[in-house]
């Protein structure tokens, strides 16, 4: 069994009791359909005066008719319940798959986003999950079609072996059609889904740059660029329709011929006195029931698309999640050590043999030209990304050995373009904080009246307010209609205000190390100076690693690390490095 088929099997196990109900109704309906032709034949024989099971004709007529009515009612009930169970079981399977895909994408972190575009990830977690979730239902329904067909062969053999042989020969032809159709459909569906993902990836990129596109007046060019894979999508789509049409035509030709052949043989056997009228009627019904295997073409197509989608999902699930240990960080002030750290992406080096020690409580600025590896250094320092070579330690403990909760409480991040998560502004700043701190204080027990976000501020609400004050965000948040309770969707903010909220989130979370990845680039000079005072004041007890392009920020840091081509070119105080003209050139054009 392939990994994609195994994934569909696991989705089936997580479909809940509804898939079991679907299987039960499919089996019960198939059994009722198998009994119905024989029951109709016996009822016809009873009505025409042919003895049924040795009983008098008149006595067996009511029982035969009632039995037929019960079977018809059972078939209808099974169809109704089957439709309901099919929909709910598919929804349950999709929910399980979507949870698993989302969890793996977030657990793998930046590794996944480097390998897959955002649009591709959305397509796999959306359309592909829905298609794969239909796989279990397609398997159960297709399998249920085999039962009437196989049962029809057995029933015809019992009625007349020649009829059974005729039906068997026709069903073998139908199975050949279904098998060829499924193989070709899987290939075409894979190409269709890949083209879908490419269009989605281009569209997401265009939406992210919508302002630039409008400003440049390039809407028409972008439409052509986004829809460039459309001819390929159309071709794969037409290929799928052609395959369906060809298989449908083949089934439409084979099935009537099969039914005609069974009826012709049955007529000859009736003329020879080997069959009764009731048996001929039953044979005709069994021929139709057996030929129902031709409808498996539709379910085979659904299963083929499900398998193709499951392959795409499986490739995503194969991405390794970032593993965590169980240790707590050792006692310390946030000493960071990078030992011969190297990072490569698609074979290109981003960092090479970086050795760096950031003393606990020290403020270190990381500078360098674009592409020098600053963001990669910030990523490995807080374990958003594991280095390909080397190790990173926090207070003497390798980061992979520290438990996730302990590591994420110890290190806080702020980014150049923060994404705000949560329902309100207060939620966005406190995102990731536990609802209660160590002294049991819960949010809502009161807010601090003055600055400082050290260990004394235990409540989450207190940390949120104090962090906002340090990030110079408290003043404009108070002016919002609902203050900290203002919904994010109703809080219009400038780029600098969004960046301040992102800084506040990092300040509230970090207990030992604060990493700012160009997180003050959108702040005006006055605000940047105020935030810098907080970094050297109320936040001075934490280790601060600040990626910056601003000379003033580098000048305020205790130490500066100068990166060039993914390597540490020099480190020291800003004053000592300023004598190097190449160092001064790093800040040309920066404020």
From the options 3.40.50.300, 3.40.50.1100, 3.40.50.620, 3.40.50.1000, give the CATH code of 336-586: 3.40.50.300
Q: Where are the beta strands (DSSP E) in 90-184?
A: none
Task: Return d(Cα 255, Cα 72) in angstroms, integer.
Answer: 24
For residue 1, pLDDT beyond 70: no
Half-sphere exposure of 156 (CA within 13 A, CB side): 31
Q: Are 338 and 563 spatial neighbours (Cβ–Cβ below 8 Å)?
A: no
Q: Rounded to an integer, what distance in angstroms lies between the CA atom of residue 281 and that of residue 275?
A: 10
**Confidence (pLDDT) at 580:** 92
> Other CB atoms closer than 10 Å to residue 76's CB: what's the count?
12
Q: Does domain 3-317 have CATH number 1.20.1560.10?
A: yes
140-166 burial code (b ≥16 CB/10 A, e <16): bbbebbebbbbbbbebbeebbeebbeb
What string of H, E and C letters represents the secondary structure of 163-205?
A: HHHHHHHHHHHHHHHHHHHHHHHHHHHHHHHHHHHHHHHHHHH
Helix axes 525-536, 495-509, angle to 10 degrees: 10
Distance CA 138, CA 442 (A): 50
Please name the residues in contact with 320: beta carbons below 8 A apart, sequence gap of 6 or more: 108, 111
For 488-513, the pLDDT digits (tens) are 888 888 888 999 999 999 999 888 99
Average pLDDT, the chain: 83
Q: What is the pLDDT of residues 307-341, one digit of tens each?
A: 889 999 998 888 888 889 998 888 888 999 999 99
Mean pLDDT of the 502-531 span: 89
Q: For the segment 360-413, what is each residue's pLDDT rounded down to a tens digit?
A: 999 999 999 988 999 999 999 999 888 999 999 999 999 999 998 899 889 999
Tell me the backbone φ, ψ of residue 336, rounded to 5 degrees.
-105, 135
Q: By the 8 A CB rule, do 363 and 546 touch?
A: yes
Per-residue pLDDT tens digits for 79-104: 899 889 888 998 999 999 999 999 88
Mean pLDDT of 164-169: 84
Q: What is the pLDDT of residues 250-271, one digit of tens each?
A: 777 777 887 788 888 888 887 8
> What mean pLDDT do residues 38-65 have?
64
Give ∠ CA 108-113-116 in degrees, rounded to 5: 110
- In which residue are the tokens 């193709």 written? 308
Band (pLDDT 50/70/90 cuts) for residue 563 is very high
Structure confidence at residue 534 as a pLDDT band (50, 70, 90): confident
pLDDT in tens, 288-307: 777 776 666 777 788 888 98
The pLDDT value given to residue 444: 37
Residues 6+ apart with CB under 8 A from 316: 101, 104, 105, 112, 116, 121, 124
Q: Any idea which residue has 């986003």 for tokens?
A: 113
- Report CA-CA distances (Å) from 310 to 3, 316, 347, 486: 9, 10, 29, 41
Helix (H, G, I), strand (E, B) or coil at 31: helix
Please state, in angstroms and rounded to a whole number, the distance separating the CA atoms of residues 521 and 523.
6
Return the domain boundaries, the chain: 3-317, 336-586
Asked if 78 and 23 touch (Cβ cutoff 8 Å), the reply is: no
Q: What is the pLDDT of residue 500?
A: 92
pLDDT at residue 115, rounded to an integer = 81
Q: Strands 336-345 and 389-394: what pairing?
A: antiparallel
Q: How far is CA 415 from CA 191, 244, 505, 520, in A?
A: 37, 50, 10, 8
Sheet holding 513-517, edge to edge: 411-415, 513-517, 543-547, 363-367, 559-564, 567-572
């Amino acid at each position: 069994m392939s990994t994609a088929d195994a994934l569909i099997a696991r989705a089936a196990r997580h479909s809940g009791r509804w898939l079991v109900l679907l299987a039960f109704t499919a089996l019960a309906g198939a059994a009722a359909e198998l009994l119905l032709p024989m029951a109709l034949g016996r009822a016809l024989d009873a009505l025409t005066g042919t003895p049924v099971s040795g009983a008098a004709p008149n006595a067996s007529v009511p029982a035969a008719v009632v039995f037929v009515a019960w079977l018809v009612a059972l078939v209808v009930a099974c169809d109704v319940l089957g439709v309901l169970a099919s929909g709910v079981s598919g929804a349950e399977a999709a929910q399980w798959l979507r949870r698993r895909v989302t969890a793996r994408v977030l657990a793998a972190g930046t590794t996944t986003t480097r390998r897959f575009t955002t649009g591709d990830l959305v397509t796999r977690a959306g359309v592909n999950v829905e298609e794969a979730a239909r796989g279990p239902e397609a398997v159960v329904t297709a399998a249920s079609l085999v039962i009437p067909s196989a049962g029809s062969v057995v029933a015809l053999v019992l009625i007349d072996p020649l009829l059974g042989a005729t039906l068997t020969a026709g069903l073998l032809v139908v199975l050949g059609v279904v098998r060829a159709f499924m193989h070709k459909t899987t290939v075409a569906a894979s190409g269709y889904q890949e083209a879908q993902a490419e269009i989605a990836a281009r569209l997401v990129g265009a939406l992210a740059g919508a302002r630039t596109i409008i400003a440049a007046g390039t809407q028409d060019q972008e439409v052509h660029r986004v829809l460039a894979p459309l001819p390929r999508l159309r071709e794969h789509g037409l290929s799928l329709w052609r395959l369906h049409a060809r298989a449908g035509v083949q089934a439409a030709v084979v099935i009537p011929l099969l039914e005609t052949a069974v009826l012709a043989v049955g007529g000859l056997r009736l003329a020879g006195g080997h069959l009764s009228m009731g048996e001929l009627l039953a044979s005709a019904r069994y021929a139709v029931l057996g030929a129902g295997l031709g409808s498996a073409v539709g379910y085979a197509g659904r299963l083929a698309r499900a398998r193709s989608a499951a392959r795409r999902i499986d490739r995503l699930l194969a991405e390794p999640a970032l593993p965590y240990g169980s240790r707590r960080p050792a006692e310390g002030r946030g000493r960071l050590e990078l030992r011969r750290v190297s990072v490569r992406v698609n074979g290109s080096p981003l960092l090479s043999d970086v050795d760096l020690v950031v003393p606990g409580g020290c403020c270190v600025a990381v500078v360098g030209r674009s592409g020098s590896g600053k963001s990669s250094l910030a990523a490995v320092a807080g374990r958003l990304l594991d280095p390909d070579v080397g190790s990173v330690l926090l207070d003497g403990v390798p980061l992979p050995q520290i438990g996730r909760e302990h590591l994420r409480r110890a290190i806080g991040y702020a980014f150049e373009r923060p994404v705000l998560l949560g329902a309100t502004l207060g939620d966005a700043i406190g995102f990731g904080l536990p609802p209660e701190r160590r002294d049991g204080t819960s949010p809502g027990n009161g807010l601090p009246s003055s600055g400082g976000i050290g260990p004394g501020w235990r409540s989450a609400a207190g940390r949120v307010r104090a962090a906002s004050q340090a990030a110079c965000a408290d003043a404009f948040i108070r002016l919002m209609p609902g203050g900290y309770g203002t919904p994010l969707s109703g809080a219009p903010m400038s780029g600098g205000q969004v960046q301040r909220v992102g800084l506040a989130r990092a300040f509230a979370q970090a207990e030992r190390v604060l990493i700012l990845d160009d997180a003050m680039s959108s702040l005006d000079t006055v605000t940047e100076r105020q935030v810098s005072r907080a970094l050297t004041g109320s936040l001075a007890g934490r280790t601060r690693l600040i990626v910056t392009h601003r000379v003033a920020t580098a000048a305020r840091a205790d130490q500066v690390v100068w990166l060039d081509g993914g390597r540490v070119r020099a480190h020291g105080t800003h004053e000592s490095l300023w004598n190097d003209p190449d160092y001064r050139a790093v800040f040309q054009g920066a404020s």
